[in-house]
Structure 1
Amino acid sequence: MNNLNDTLPDLMRRATENLEPESTDLVERGMRRGTILRRRRTALLSFTGAGAVLATAGIVIGGTQLFGGTGEAPAAGTAGQSVTEEATGPVTQKETLATLMKLLPANLKVTKPQSWGGNGFHGASVVVDDGHGPSKISLGVTAPGADGTCAMDPGTCKTRPDGSLISVEAYGPTYGEGNPGGVLRNSVTIVRPSSGSISLISFNAAEEKGVDKSRAKPALSVEQLITIADSQTWRFPLQQKVPTTGPTKPEPKSPGAGKPVVPVQQTLHNLKKLLPRDLTLTRPETWGGGTAGHNGAAYVINDGKGLSRIDVFVSYEQPVTKCGPEGIAHCQVRSDGAVVGWVKDDPSYSDARQKVNGVLANRVEIHYPDGRMIGMTSYNGPQEKDARHTRVKPAFTPDQLMAMANDKAWKFPGTGTR
């Protein structure tokens, strides 16, 4: 059995997978072509919020009893009553959406219905309004197979008498660092034994990201979400059969397989040698190395105009031979066959956090025909995210970054004998 906390983040991600994702940077887009990027500091949807304590006698959040107690005052009336007989048979995405709308409290005005899914998963969403402002409701329903256990996480989930597992979050912030935009969510995930799983989220805004809050609290409380998720009217998508058409095609061998590894300190040293000598260098950082097949290195520099992070990433990848719709911006193929690209003043966020932090980036990439890849980035702050900008522009222009990236001193790490 899987640990429930290994399963639930994926369920909730799928429940909101039609929402606009955070903007990805230039090197991240290269990952779609096999590039390995440095670790990300992205805040993922989580069910183990510090304010949530699920106890044996009930779930308590911020001093409020959610099971077996008075609970919080409902924000939008009582959820629709569940029926006693469970429906059977295959279900379509539109029918899943219709079930959600049927189970919502009658006093809500419902707009913007959407449904999506496939491969044993159905998603749906609506925007509701009880007179206090719009609130998005997102749903994910999966086929049987997402089982789990609470054994390793007794404080964050509960096994109920019927064998189902439940995890909740009340007033979880969309972002850390002050939660710009003020968007909060109530969420519930229930995994039914041999039946399927249901994930429900209510936001205090018309969207999860890219907007400010439109009301003080989500329209539906955790208790109401539990009532809706517990309804026996839900029908689950069919489990997808594993194709048996033959052996799967093996992944192509990386051009870096078997090539010598490069110490990450050498990558950091190369970066330092290429930087102007009149800069103050602080916060040296490295990642990757060994047999990982990629190296990263960074400094925070100061030229008298404020702190600016600069980082470099070198690796092997499946060769890139042309510019593509999901590739790097301002892309061109050079006479030596290398695919190069750059972007200027790229914002770190596509939502309210950008107005707060204001961090911009200049980036360049070079993809060589033999699979070598290098990316360099300069920021107008000490880090990419979760910090405010410290200068108007990044310290290095795209032209300056490209000149450094083109230097012949760079060594590209392989995986060694692995």
Structure 2
Amino acid sequence: MNNLNDSLPDLMRRATDDLAPESNDLVERGIRRGVTLRRRRTALLSLSGAGAALATAGIIVGGTHVFAGTPEAPVAGTTAAAAPNAKPPVSKPATPAGTLATLRGLLPENLQQSAAKSYNDGGGQYRADVVLNDGKGESLLSLTIATSKPITSCDGMDHCKVQPDGSVVRSFANQSIKDPRRNPGGIKRSAVEIYRPDGRTISLQHFNASLSITQHTRPDPLLTVAQLTTIATSNTWVYPAAPPAAPRPPQQGDGRPAVPLQQTLQTLKSVLPKNLQLTRPETWGGGEEGFNGAAYVANDGKGGARVDVFVTYETPVTKCTGEGPQHCKVRADGAVTGWSKNEPTYGDERQEINGVLANRVEIHYPDGRMIAMTAYNGPQEKDAKHTRALPLFSTDKLFAMAGADGWKFPGTGRK
């Protein structure tokens, strides 16, 4: 069967290939929302067709952000801290052209504006770009504005803070868009993103380069984070209407009861060896999602290492397909098993830096139950260095724990 958790990000990225690098953060937020789907994809690098992990470029932090105690003060008159949730006045329906006009009207009058354009990016998103120049070099400003399903937490987002009114605000200044070794053009980015409780979302991405984003045209982006905040929190914005909700397709777990996430976490704890120190409990999925995930960082005295489990119902897998883990075997009871050993978690130079390896196993039962377990040689899959030479558990040990009695396989709870 198809692995939607890999194909959807691929499709979204292909749809935005022509956009400025790293400027499409609203799409990236949807992908990274991301903690759940990322973890699900991790567990299903599998017979479900997920042959390779998708690794996105890391961003090196080089600046500060206005909502987390930064020394950079907001410009006079900004209402960033107090009014990010203020609703705009009633006006004409939003259009891409109107969005661009609003953006241009909020910019400082002393700046030269060029290469202005706007368009409907689909899914209720409008985009607008304009190149600014103060006489010291061009600086691209890119806007995305939308109304969509609300984002209510900072999960998966750095430089982020939840405001007292429930708005989620992310901002930073003068970051390299990639690891400096992969950014020969010296491109930097400043950004302000606001996610309001009612689904209104606005993102401003500002670069120290012109429209081409290949070589910097000035040392830093022209506008400060405080200036971007004033623009983003203006009450003159008119937001696109949210797209109609798509009908919910039938799920594999329909007709089967949900399982509490804490029950899955407790079962994981019960199958782990008793001599381990367990920290950083984590769960994801649950409820109508139709899948449960749980994890611990386990330490046997030789280094903390992550171990996680994923349980769900799926369309029954009855044979090895040549996709997924390195090895596959159909057992005598009809279950299809897959496993891989010492699998790198990155496919580029970051693997040499972090050195995290994974042992993975999967059991696909004939009745549609599926369980996957993964052990690492570090405290997390990405963005951390390994703590031991090899993953904490062998594939044989993982199979023994995955096949233990007591696992409950969750459905969606829907009939």
Please give the range of the TM-score, normalised by the shorter of the 2 chains. 0.5 to 0.7
Q: Is the 8 A contact 2:252 2:315 kept in 1?
A: no
Deviation at 1:332, TM superposition (A): 4.9
Work out the CA distance in 2 between the residues paired with 1:412 and 1:347: 28
Deviation at 1:52, TM superposition (A): 3.6
Counterpart of 1:377 in structure 2 is 374
Deviations 1:228-270 (A, max 9, x none): 6589997754554568xxx966655457528899675554332
Based on CA coordinates, which of the two structures has the bigger radius of gyration?
1
The change in CA–CA distance for 1:269 and 1:217 in structure 2 (over 3 A counts) is same
2:205 paired residue among 201, 208, 218: 201
Q: Which amino acid aligns with 1:169?
A: S
Q: TM-score, normalised by structure 2?
A: 0.52
Q: Is the 8 A contact 1:294 1:316 kept in 2?
A: yes
Work out the CA distance in 2 between the residues paired with 1:166 and 1:27: 24
Counterpart of 1:9 in structure 2 is none
Deviation at 1:107, TM superposition (A): 5.9
Aligned residue for 2:27, secondary structure, equals coil
The change in CA–CA distance for 1:216 and 1:400 in structure 2 (over 3 A counts) is farther
1:300 paired residue among 295, 298, 301: 298
* Pairing of 1:8-407 with structure 2 (within 5 A): 15-17=25-27, 27-28=40-41, 52=66, 61-62=70-71, 64-68=73-77, 91=95, 117-123=121-127, 137-142=141-146, 156=163, 169-171=171-173, 185-187=190-192, 189=194, 198-202=202-206, 217-225=220-228, 237-238=240-241, 240=243, 253-254=253-254, 257=257, 264-272=265-273, 281-283=276-278, 294=292, 296=294, 298=296, 300-302=298-300, 306-307=302-303, 309-313=305-309, 315-321=311-317, 328-330=324-326, 332=328, 334=330, 336-348=333-345, 357-385=354-382, 387-396=384-393, 399-400=395-396, 403-404=399-400
Q: Which amino acid aligns with 2:312?
A: Y
Work out the CA distance in 2 between the residues paired with 1:248 and 1:198: 27
Work out the CA distance in 2 between the residues paired with 1:226 and 1:26: 32
Work out the CA distance in 2 between the residues paired with 1:127 and 1:349: 36
Aligned length: 335
Identify which range, 306-315 or 180-189, moves more after superposition.
180-189
Deviation at 1:66, TM superposition (A): 1.8
Work out the CA distance in 2 between the residues paired with 1:382 and 1:145: 32
The change in CA–CA distance for 1:91 and 1:368 in structure 2 (over 3 A counts) is same
Deviation at 1:367, TM superposition (A): 2.4
The change in CA–CA distance for 1:174 and 1:64 in structure 2 (over 3 A counts) is same
Q: Is the 8 A contact 2:141 2:205 kept in 1?
A: yes
The change in CA–CA distance for 1:396 and 1:122 in structure 2 (over 3 A counts) is same
Work out the CA distance in 2 between the residues paired with 1:375 and 1:147: 29
Q: Is the 8 A contact 2:127 2:143 kept in 1?
A: yes
Unmatched runs of 5 consecutive residues or more in structure 2? 1-21, 49-58, 79-89, 153-160
Work out the CA distance in 1 between the residues paired with 2:266 and 2:149: 45
Deviations 1:53-99 (A, max 9, x none): 59xxxxx8415242249xxxxxxxxxxxxxxxx9967745x996798
Aligned residue for 1:16, secondary structure, equals helix
Q: TM-score, normalised by structure 1?
A: 0.52
Work out the CA distance in 2 between the residues paired with 1:30 and 1:114: 39
Aligned residue for 1:272, secondary structure, equals coil
Deviations 1:117-142 (A, max 9, x none): 32322246689899999977442222
Q: Which amino acid aligns with 2:145?
A: V
Deviation at 1:340, TM superposition (A): 3.8
User: Structure 1 vs Structure 2: percent identity of aligned residues?
Assistant: 29
Counterpart of 1:8 in structure 2 is none
